[in-house]
Chains A and B, each alone.
Chain A
Amino acid sequence: MRIVVAVKYVPDIQSERGFADGRVERVPDDGTLNELDENALEAALSLVEALGEEERAASEVVALTVGGPDAAAAVRKAFQLGVDRGVLVSDDAIAGSDYAGTAAVLAAAVRRLEQDGPVDLVLAGMAALDGLGSVVPSFVAAELGRPHLAFADRLEVDAAAGTARATCDVGHVSEELEAPLPAVVSVSDHINQPRFPNFRLIMAARGKPVEQWSLADVGLDPSRVGEAGARTRTVRAEPRPERPEAEVVVDKGDGGTALAEFLIRNELV
């Protein structure tokens, strides 16, 4: 089984995040592997670990990221969790890509990986914690012309039957869905508990190279991506005015009444 996991390098959620010139400001060393992509990595690794010895030996998990040079850190983190191979697609022409542009690059990189053999599954996280779009996996699926199982809480793959089955629970609907392979699956944060890197894997990760590909390497026309190909652009970005400091009441037996009075006073009841 060959699985490609799309992982994104995002500003740390605990860091001071902001925009510069209409783009997310990338502060060096303040970035991290998108936490929700750890669920996708865990899903990929555990699918392969559940295989028989022979199939397992013939399997490969590839971490794939699209981003600036810093984004190699996301791939290195994926190495520490145990992926076999890691690719960073980086090119000046990619900067300023919107969802569609990012997805076009991811899809082209998957096709390039298929030159070494078929890719059965593309796994992704449910959202990147910077933009929170939750749309890139759908675009990737559409771009590749493959079925998409979105927000999987449970995933089973039957390689012999060539199917992937997922349970998805979004809004007020629970569904059990089945897709023929090859497929794209985005996983929710309910699907598993991501593993922690262990010493052996951290050591092994040091020796693994992050393969760097340009747009030309994935055979994509620069006009489709980056600012040139973007169908949207950020025209304004401003920090929201800070809220005035809270009115604080320490409960001495009448905190609830004070709360009710605040709501009544502000016509919120």
Chain B
Amino acid sequence: MNARTVLVLLDTPATELRSPALEILTLARGLGRVEAVALEAPSLETLAQLGTYGVEHVRQAELALDDPEQRHRPPVVAAALARAVEVAGADVVLLTSSFVTKEVAAHLAHATGAGLVVDAVGVTATDDGHVVGAKTAFAGTWETECEVTTDVAVLTVRANAVVPAPAGTTVETQVAGFPVEPDAAATAVRTRSRAVHPTTGGRPDLAEAATVVAGGRGTDGDFGPVLDLADALGAAVGASRDAVFEGWFDEFVGQTGVSVAPRLYIGAGISGAPHHRGGMQSSQVVVAVNNDPECPLFEISDFAVVGDLADVLPQAAAAIRAHRQDGA
């Protein structure tokens, strides 16, 4: 039954695989035989991780490019994946879900004629072999399933869709190169500059974190209490768009910002506008702290504190630290 070949694009092969990549490797195993695709040489750490996830083959693209910076361009990545689909005879391609991978996925689907599902929160197959992506819609208020009717399926999968689980047995992972010659259209855009800024303060990445603490206009510019609680919880920090537009923080949660679906989301001084909710409503547990008992975020919360975040958050952070110490 598992005659399918599933390709998984590795986002960070040169360092180590992050949770979203391990999550899609886990999902891929449920669909068929898994191979990984990398655009750079995998590190020893990555190879060891792939081994524990039961992946025997990594296909590493050897890109013929005049400008090596072009390897980041979505149409170039898509060209490599399209070639990998051909050489591996693959039926499914899984990618993590971000604005960049969605662009890759669109170019890939166009090149291969594949059906595309973006932002899946689960991937399964029907009895007659079609791949199905589970999705949420309308700010997480609806659950849908989208079936791919073509031979090749491309899906981007949101972080925290599943808990990453290594395979029962560890295998030896081999790397094999395959040549890719992106065409002129794929390399038409020139990169004049490119800068990568990692998450500040050594905190988890907002898009991937299992716990998120977000601050809004109610912080009045002081993110101190938000950072304090986040650090007590080991959480990622986010904001509302208004708080980012004010210059108080650098990343916001929402439909046009980062979509998050963590185990725990805490929103402080955030009213819960539909645009914001659209990017966090799929969180498992929602906690809100707001001095307005009528704030809309309370409507979708599991736990709500009516109060001033400047008092509530530090007290909660201290209590959590005390609890941790007791436990240790």
Give the nearest-CB partner of A138 in chain B: B106
The reply to whether B304 and A247 contact each other, CB–CB distance below 8 Å, is yes
Q: Is the interface of A mostly helix, strand, loop or mixed?
A: mixed
Q: With A236-B144, A237-B144, A256-B319 in contact, do A231 and B191 touch (Cβ < 8 Å)?
A: no
Number of A-B contacts (CB under 8 A): 256
Bound Cα distance from A135 to B78, whole angstroms: 13
> What class of interface size applies to chain A in its complex with B?
35 or more
Q: Which of chain B's residues have a CB closer than 8 A to the CB of A55?
A: none
Q: Which of chain B's residues have a CB closer than 8 A to the CB of A236?
A: 143-145
The reply to whether A19 and B137 contact each other, CB–CB distance below 8 Å, is yes
A251 CB-CB contact with B under 8 Å: yes
Q: With A189-B256, A246-B302, A263-B264 in contact, do A13 and B275 touch (Cβ < 8 Å)?
A: yes
Bound Cα distance from A264 to B325, whole angstroms: 13
Contact with A along B265-306 (1 / 0, CB 8 A): 000000000110010000001111100010000111111111
Give the nearest-CB partner of B135 in chain A: A234
Q: Which parts of B108-152 form the interface with A (CB within 8 Å)?
A: 109-111, 113-119, 132, 136-150
A213 CB-CB contact with B under 8 Å: no
The reply to whether B305 and A139 contact each other, CB–CB distance below 8 Å, is no
Bound Cα distance from A36 to B254, whole angstroms: 13
Bound Cα distance from A132 to B141, whole angstroms: 14
The reply to whether B145 and A264 contact each other, CB–CB distance below 8 Å, is no
Cross-chain contact of B149 among A134, A135, A173, A233 (Cβ < 8 A): A233
Q: Which of chain B's residues have a CB closer than 8 A to the CB of A151?
A: 99
The reply to whether A233 and B303 contact each other, CB–CB distance below 8 Å, is no
The reply to whether A235 and B146 contact each other, CB–CB distance below 8 Å, is yes
Which among A135, A165, A177, A266 has the highest number of chain B CB atoms within 10 Å? Answer: A135
B167 CB-CB contact with A under 8 Å: no
B102 CB-CB contact with A under 8 Å: yes
Bound Cα distance from A173 to B251, whole angstroms: 12
Query: Of B33-41, B182-190, B214-222, which binds chain A?
Result: B182-190
Q: Which of chain A's residues have a CB closer than 8 A to the CB of B207?
A: 171
Q: With A14-B274, A19-B142 in contact, do A36 and B256 touch (Cβ < 8 Å)?
A: yes
Q: Which of chain A's residues have a CB closer than 8 A to the CB of B65?
A: none
Q: Which of chain A's residues have a CB closer than 8 A to the CB of B298?
A: 246, 248
Bound Cα distance from A143 to B197, whole angstroms: 33
B107 CB-CB contact with A under 8 Å: yes
Q: Which of chain B's residues have a CB closer than 8 A to the CB of A255?
A: 289, 305-307, 311-312, 315
Query: Of A68-76, A80-88, A123-131, which binds chain B?
Result: A123-131
B165 CB-CB contact with A under 8 Å: no
Q: Which parts of A107-166 form the interface with B (CB within 8 Å)?
A: 126-127, 129-135, 138-139, 142-143, 145-151, 165
Give the nearest-CB partner of B277 in chain A: A13
The reply to whether B146 and A178 contact each other, CB–CB distance below 8 Å, is no
Q: With A256-B318, A268-B211 in contact, do A251 and B308 touch (Cβ < 8 Å)?
A: yes
Q: With A179-B188, A264-B323 in contact, do A249 and B141 touch (Cβ < 8 Å)?
A: no
Bound Cα distance from A180 to B102, whole angstroms: 23
Bound Cα distance from A260 to B287, whole angstroms: 11
Q: Which parts of A201-246 form the interface with B (CB within 8 Å)?
A: 230-240, 243-244, 246
A194 CB-CB contact with B under 8 Å: no
Q: Which of chain B's residues have a CB closer than 8 A to the CB of A5?
A: none
The reply to whether B256 and A234 contact each other, CB–CB distance below 8 Å, is no
Give the nearest-CB partner of B155 in chain A: A232
Contact with A along B7-35 (1 / 0, CB 8 A): 00000000000000000000000000000
B198 CB-CB contact with A under 8 Å: yes
The reply to whether A134 and B305 contact each other, CB–CB distance below 8 Å, is no
The reply to whether B287 and A18 contact each other, CB–CB distance below 8 Å, is no
The reply to whether A232 and B188 contact each other, CB–CB distance below 8 Å, is no
Bound Cα distance from A148 to B74, whole angstroms: 10
Give the nearest-CB partner of A166 in chain B: B189
Q: Which of chain B's residues have a CB closer than 8 A to the CB of A54?
A: none
Q: With A256-B312, A259-B316 in contact, do A19 and B144 touch (Cβ < 8 Å)?
A: yes
The reply to whether B303 and A246 contact each other, CB–CB distance below 8 Å, is yes
The reply to whether A240 and B145 contact each other, CB–CB distance below 8 Å, is no
Bound Cα distance from A150 to B103, whole angstroms: 8
- A: residues with CB less than 8 A from B are 13-14, 17-19, 36, 98-100, 126-127, 129-135, 138-139, 142-143, 145-151, 165, 170-180, 188-189, 230-240, 243-244, 246-251, 253-264, 266, 268-269
- B: residues with CB less than 8 A from A are 72, 74-75, 98-100, 102-103, 105-107, 109-111, 113-119, 132, 136-150, 185, 188-199, 207, 211, 233, 241, 255-256, 263-264, 274-275, 278, 285-289, 293, 298-308, 311-320, 323-324
Q: List 26 A-B contacts (CB under 8 A).
A: A100-B110, A127-B256, A132-B255, A147-B189, A171-B100, A173-B100, A180-B188, A231-B109, A231-B150, A232-B149, A233-B149, A237-B143, A238-B142, A238-B143, A246-B299, A248-B298, A248-B306, A249-B303, A249-B304, A250-B293, A255-B289, A257-B316, A260-B316, A260-B323, A263-B233, A269-B233
6 further A-B contacts with Cβ under 8 Å, apart from A237-B142, A264-B323, are A127-B256, A132-B119, A138-B106, A243-B286, A246-B303, A247-B304
